[in-house]
Structures are given as C-alpha cells and as structure tokens.
Chain A
C-alpha cells in the first residue's frame, strides 16, 4: 500500500453540552497519512488543538475494530462516512483527497440526544433490550446439553447474521423518520429463528416494540436507507420478520 499525506479542511459540530447551542467550527489539518483511520485523523486534530491549549473534540470510540459499536459520526452527510459496510473507526483517509473539506456531525435523531460535541446518548437501545431482548433462562449452566436440540445450519446462520448488529445506531441516524426498526428487527429475528428463543417470542416482540415506541423512534416507511448504511449489512428481511412476528402475536392476543 502506497501511503501518502494529504491536507484537509474540517467542519466539525461543537456543542458544549446537552443544553448549549452548537455550531459547525472550521479546522485545517495538514499532513494526514492516507493510511490513518478517520478517528486517527481526529486524534491528530485533537493533538493539534491541545498543543494550542484548546479544548479537544469529544467523540465516542473504543475498540477501533468495527465491533464495539461505540463510534458514530455523520461524515459528509452519511452515517459512518462515504465507504459502505464500515464503521467510522474502519474508514480510512485514503477515501478522501488532498484539499477536501469534510463535514463531521453527530448522529441526528430525537431519540439520541447530544451529550457533547459529537457524542450522543444511545441508552434508548439498552432500554429496548431490557424490555425483552433476551431468553429468560437463569444463569446456572444446568440447562440441557448444548447439542440436545439440533438447529438447521441455515437457521443458525441467519440468526447469527441478525445477531451481528453492533448497536451503533447508524440505522436510526440515517433514517428520515428516525426509526429503530432495523435494530429491533435484528434482535427479534435472532431469537425468533432459534428454538431457544421461540418459547417467549410473542411477549418479546410485543415488549420490545412497545419500548421502541416509548423511546420516541419514528415509524418505518420502507425507504431502506438503514440497510444501506448498516456497517454490518443487517438485512431489511429482519424488519419484515419482526412485522410478521408482531402481527402473529397481536392476532393471537
């Protein structure tokens, strides 16, 4: 890989706290390696700010391997930036050109209020999970042997694909309605596809959907933007499955 250096301009959302008024601030950053990740570029900018005795930019990040789901960012109008199938931490500067102006904003959604700068509060996702995103078995380990129930490989694979969701919230941020249907659909699907989850499938989907509505997420109008921006390729099929599960649960009362 041939690495080179580029100079860029940045317009970054700064906001002191949840109640303060925010604005886009301009920054210039030189000598950015194209091998750097987007977040390493922000580290570099923060280093420059600190060396100028200025306050660094707050952004969420942790694993930097695209799996913890903590990083976010709207980059040039797209959740997780211009590349597809990637989180912001796995986006690399080789996707940008020398002299580019890059806009960096936080997730924009009513259910994800801003905490500071680019950091938002996604605890609504946790509360949806707490409402039903589990199998109600105790933790004794004294269940049946792991191989007691064979599961068709195709079902296990589909459940896994749904379970690959990292809970980053790109689906919500990118949706014009701020809907969380892809996130909830993925969790509902994972369990609905497995015999262990089927036992309480009805209660699960009803409870999770109720909590989702309470959190102020919008409705789904099938635009499919969520699927396109999902870094883990979670399929719209999961929303369809959740709708079927929900209808089934509602019809059975």
Chain B
C-alpha cells in the first residue's frame, strides 16, 4: 500500500467537490483570530489565498521576495484565462473543459482535481469582474472570448495581451484591502529559507529579510506555499529572473514528496535566443495562434537563403510555404497544444528548415498577413464599405491586430527591432511552465500535515502538459475557492493549540541550519559567479532534459549535474556581506536548490520509460513522431522522497491514476 492517500472523495465526478465541501469541518468566526496562517508567494494563488484567509478573519502573514506583492510573475501571463461559461454558445460546458484539460495533460492528471477546477472556473470570472478587472468586451458590452490551444471552443477571457497583469492586480487589490484593514501583514523583500516542523506538523518558516539580511522566525498553524514554478532550472526561460524553486524545495527537504519533476512545458512561441549574454527569453502569447499561422519554407534552399539574408520571408510564394501545423493537424491546425506545436517546430528545424540566423538555426515564422486581410475586410464591411481597397483592408486589419495584441507586437519590436505588422515574427520554443511540483492530495495538502501547496508550485491539475489559459485559472481556483475550505478543515483541529512560540528547539535548529548555509557561501574562497554555474546547469538541462530526452543523455545529465554541484560548492564566489542586501547571495541560495532539483528531473525522466505530453523520450514515439504513452506501466504520479542532495538516492512512491469518467485514449489532434 502506497503511503500516498490522495483523499479523492467517493461519488460521481460532478458531486465530489460539493459533497466534500459539505462534510469539511469549519472554524467559527470567533475562533479564527486565534489562528495564524502563513502564505509564501503573492502571485495569483498566494495573493488570492492571503486575501481570502484575511477576509475570513484569520491572522495572515504573507511573504514575497519582490519589492511588492504586485510584482509576482503571474503578472507576465499574457493570453487569457479559461472558464466554462459558454457565453459564445459554441458547445462548451464544465464537462468539456474537464475533458479538454485531462486530454491536454495526456492522461496524467487526477480526474477529481481537474473536474473541480472546471466547476469553479465560472466563479473566477464572476469574482474578477466584481473586483473591477477590465476584461475585453464586445460592442454590446458583454465579455469577449477567444480560443486557445487544445480546444475547439472559445472559452478564454482576456485583457489584450496582459491578462495575467489584470488578474494579478485584481488579486493584489483584494490583498491590499486586507493589508489596509490589518488582517494581513505583508512581508515584502523577504525570502522563505526553511520550513519549521514540530511533531510532524508545519509550524512556521525561517525567512530572510532581503534588505537587512536578518533571519526571522515566523510561526503559524498552517503554511501555504504558493511560490510558483521551477522553469529557471534551465537558466534561460520565460520565468522572471527571481522565480525559483527554493520555498517548494525546502518543503521537499523537510519531507514533502515532489511529483513529476520532469513534466516541463516548452512553449512554442517565444522570441529566439540571440546570444550568450542573454539572461531570459520572452514569450509571445499563445493567443497569437488565433491569428497567426506558423510556417517554414518548403524548400531547404529558401530557408538557407533566408538565414543568409538573401531572401525575405515576404518574398516566399504561398505555395512554397509549409504551414506544418495545419498540414499535420488539420482538425486543430495552429491551435494544437503547446507540446505538440513545440515538437513540430523542433522537427522542422532539426530537418534543416529553420529560418533564424543563430548558431542552431532554430526559428520558425508566425505570420499575421492572412489575418490582417481577413479582419481588415470584416472591419471595412462593418463600416458599410462593401468594396474596400486593398490598402484600406490592410490598414484596418493592422488596427484590429493592434487592439487585440498591441502590447505583444510592441514588445516584439523592442526586442528584435523587426516590425511584425510588416514581416512575420520569428519564434522558437522555450521553457515556460512546470507541471510538476510538490505532491498534494485533493485538499492541496502535502505529505507534511499543515503544509499546503497551491498554484504552479503543486503538481495537481495539468498532467504532463498544461493547456493555454489554464494556469491563471488554477492559481485563482486554488487560492479563492479550494484552500479556504480545505485549510479551514485542517485548522478546525487547531483551535485549542493556542499561540505557537518561535522560541523552541525546532525553530532554533532550522535557523542555525540556514545560518550555516549562508556562512558557507560567504566564506567560500571561490572564483566563479553564481551565474557561471547556473548557465552550465541550464545547458545540461536544455540539451539533455529538454524537448527530446533519451536514456543515454539522461544518464549523462545525472552525472554531470552531480559534478557541477560539487564544483559549485567548491568554487562559487559570493561578494558582499550577509547582513545587508546581497543579490548574489540570494542567487546562490536559489541555484543550490535548482541544482538538486535539476538532477531529480533527470532521474524522474529516466524512470519514466514512455512519452507523454511535454515529456518526450525519443525511444518512445510512433511512426509519425507522436508521443507513445505506456498506460500499463506508467499511469501513475511519480512522487519522490528526498534522501540527501544526490537525487540518485531519492525514493520513488507511486500514486496510481484512475480514469473512471473519461475513457483513456491516445491523444489525437488530427
């Protein structure tokens, strides 16, 4: 019997959450002020959770490493948020959203969690509108929708190309309200460096004040980790520079299992790499695939001429273009899921059709010319001009594009110095989101009692591949609509606990451990920067634990990362002092955890002898290059137990996945 109890309630899939909620314990309003709750991270999941718990009357302490909770990286989400509202009357329903998400995740997510997500999706939109989130609207005054990958309906709500910003500012406003009312105490520029457990229960954290360098002890009756994903293990990713795994990893080191670390989303549409001093990659929203068509030249000599600057993409005739997604996946076309689109782009570039003039020739076109013409004509007709000139069509089409995607087009131009209204965008896949994370049960509780994990930091809802516009949905669902119920159920048994002291051996020991690790870095007589090691880690990860993985490469990666870890501790140089603001020290602490995680990702990928979603093992593919799952042997969640910094010693536990309501099948987007 596995040690993992997912606590999925019995009953029909559409009744589980309601029944479960009806039987969870409650904490009476007069008892809530006696209970402390810590929330680490202030993105969509963290901010919405902190605001909700503050509002319910608990004492909340919220932490973020940025200078303000509003900076959390949810802010950078672009395209939109899904909800099964069926406002467009195109056949959407809770079941469809549930089904699309399970299928999109290549049958490696939990049915019950995903159904709950679909159930509350509509409430999220209601909530955000009530908070004053300015979603895009139609001329009739009602909310507009668009499509995202892996679906055949229009269920995505959006605010231009900055939906994450608007949703996060909504959650931030709710959080700000609670801070103003004194129900939430906000600790900005603070980083969680350890979890404190007492008698097996999470009882607080050790945090470092990033301005003064002081270590602080904070106690609570429950700790919620909402610290985001770990894409920065690749060094280059679309994550923010500060995004890190440390809060989640500390919890893992204290006993929480870490699930499916090898499930990483490589997003198809990002601005290609330009050079060795590059620090991060920029996403071009998936929403652009509503309007853009992805192609490479049909002829290798044309691709070569483009790379050498002898030909421009606009000079390639229509019949000489290979719209490879439309060709391979006619039913979904450019809107196939991200993992499918990314692999298809890689396949074309590996075959020699890439158009970017960098070391690897990795790049494909995302072209808006067709959409500009069609939307321009529509706009002209709407104005009563039924015989518009070509010029007018193009000009009105560009205006339409600007309204939908203006900020993205501007961002692209700033980065590349190319005008995407005139010439197609050049794009290539980049690391974007991590489906893996801390293992949690149906209540979002980790294997440590009282330690809950939400948003991208947990593993639960997206299986082996997340569909576009579902991360925002999950973050807000966890924070607003799941944790308030499930954490309260846990806290119902804590009303007699009383104030938790930080003056205990457990806090003392945890603080000393953190202090020692800081001192080790500060006194190290190394010669190389943290970034030097981080970049090396990133290269190993991208080349061997990236879009295509194989047994030999993974075995090499495991050894290379082990060596890198030793060299890092021997030779890293951290300037400055520990009792002041020290960005290099912050980075060193984060990269130490990323190295350990990176090795576990390779171990997990090596263990999973199948291809599913974003995890593509080259040994397991069909004749057409599609993923070959092995449901007989791998229809489980891999949950790893920490056994020291060498991940080769980590112990695997399995949670079997049962599909009672969806018939498990080969994923097909053709």
Interface residues of A (CB under 8 A from B): 1, 3, 16-17, 32-33, 35-37, 39-41, 43-44, 46-47, 49-51, 53-56, 58, 60-70, 83, 85-86, 90-92, 94, 115-116, 119, 121-123, 125-126, 129-147, 150-153, 156-157, 159-160, 163-164, 166-167, 190-191, 194, 196-197
Per-position contact with A for B415-430: 1 when CB-CB < 8 Å, else 0?
1111000000000000
Per-position contact with A for B556-584: 1 when CB-CB < 8 Å, else 0?
00000000000000000101100011011
B415: chain A residues within 8 A (beta carbon): 37, 90, 92
Kindly provide the distance from the CB of B415 to the nearest chain A CB, expressed in whole angstroms: 7
A46: chain B residues within 8 A (beta carbon): 529
**A126 near B529: Cβ-Cβ < 8 Å:** no
Kindly provide the distance from the CB of A200 to the nearest chain B CB, expressed in whole angstroms: 11
Asked, given contacts A35-B275, A86-B414, A196-B129, whether A131 binds B180 with beta carbons under 8 Å apart, the answer is yes
A67: chain B residues within 8 A (beta carbon): 75-76, 162, 164-165
Per-position contact with A for B132-151: 1 when CB-CB < 8 Å, else 0?
10111111111100000000
**B48 near A50: Cβ-Cβ < 8 Å:** no
A123: chain B residues within 8 A (beta carbon): 67-68, 188
**B66 near A147: Cβ-Cβ < 8 Å:** no
**Cα separation A134 to B47 with both chains bound (whole Å):** 14
**A147 near B142: Cβ-Cβ < 8 Å:** yes
Of B51, B129, B134, B584, the residue contacting A50 (CB under 8 A) is B584
**Cα separation A39 to B414 with both chains bound (whole Å):** 14
B128: chain A residues within 8 A (beta carbon): 146
**B131 near A137: Cβ-Cβ < 8 Å:** yes
Of B240, B275, B583, the residue contacting A56 (CB under 8 A) is B583
A167: chain B residues within 8 A (beta carbon): 68, 70
Kindly provide the distance from the CB of B244 to the nearest chain A CB, expressed in whole angstroms: 11
**A40 near B277: Cβ-Cβ < 8 Å:** yes
**Cα separation A197 to B139 with both chains bound (whole Å):** 21
Output the residue of B66, B69, B129 with the most chain A CB within 10 A.
B129
Q: How many residues of B contact A (CB 8 A)?
A: 90
CB closest residue in chain B, given A39: B279
Of B55, B68, B162, the residue contacting A125 (CB under 8 A) is B68
**A130 near B531: Cβ-Cβ < 8 Å:** no
Kindly provide the distance from the CB of A90 to the nearest chain B CB, expressed in whole angstroms: 5
B238: chain A residues within 8 A (beta carbon): 65
CB closest residue in chain B, given A34: B417
**Cα separation A89 to B132 with both chains bound (whole Å):** 29
B4 sits at the interface (CB 8 A): no
Interface residues of B (CB under 8 A from A): 48, 51-52, 55, 66-73, 75-76, 85, 87, 120, 122-132, 134-143, 159-160, 162, 164-166, 169, 172-174, 176-177, 179-180, 186, 188, 211, 238, 240-242, 274-275, 277-280, 282-283, 407, 410-411, 414-418, 480-481, 484, 527-529, 531-532, 573, 575-576, 580-581, 583-584
Kindly provide the distance from the CB of A36 to the nearest chain B CB, expressed in whole angstroms: 5
**A129 near B176: Cβ-Cβ < 8 Å:** yes
Give 27 A-B contacts (CB < 8 Å), ordered by A residue: A35-B275, A36-B277, A40-B277, A43-B279, A51-B529, A60-B67, A62-B71, A62-B240, A68-B73, A70-B68, A90-B411, A115-B211, A115-B581, A122-B68, A123-B188, A130-B176, A134-B132, A138-B55, A141-B120, A141-B127, A144-B130, A147-B143, A153-B137, A156-B135, A157-B134, A166-B165, A194-B132
Kindly provide the distance from the CB of B277 to the nearest chain A CB, expressed in whole angstroms: 5
**B173 near A47: Cβ-Cβ < 8 Å:** no
CB closest residue in chain B, given A50: B529
A3: chain B residues within 8 A (beta carbon): 274-275
B85: chain A residues within 8 A (beta carbon): 146-147
Asked, given contacts A90-B415, A135-B132, whether A35 binds B274 with beta carbons under 8 Å apart, the answer is yes
Of A1, A43, A68, A153, the residue contacting B277 (CB under 8 A) is A43
Kindly provide the distance from the CB of B191 to the nearest chain A CB, expressed in whole angstroms: 13
CB closest residue in chain B, given A122: B67
Of B51, B137, B242, the residue contacting A151 (CB under 8 A) is B137
A143: chain B residues within 8 A (beta carbon): 126-127, 129-130
A164: chain B residues within 8 A (beta carbon): 162, 165, 407
**B416 near A130: Cβ-Cβ < 8 Å:** no
Known contacts A65-B282, A138-B55; 20 further A-B pairs (Cβ under 8 A)? A46-B529, A55-B576, A56-B576, A56-B583, A63-B75, A65-B411, A90-B415, A123-B67, A126-B176, A134-B132, A139-B51, A139-B52, A143-B126, A144-B130, A145-B126, A146-B129, A151-B141, A156-B135, A156-B141, A160-B134
Asked, given contacts A35-B275, A36-B278, A62-B66, whether A152 binds B141 with beta carbons under 8 Å apart, the answer is yes
CB closest residue in chain B, given A60: B67
CB closest residue in chain A, given B49: A139
**B126 near A90: Cβ-Cβ < 8 Å:** no
Kindly provide the distance from the CB of B173 to the nearest chain A CB, expressed in whole angstroms: 4
Output the residue of A65, A116, A125, A129 with the most chain B CB within 10 A.
A65
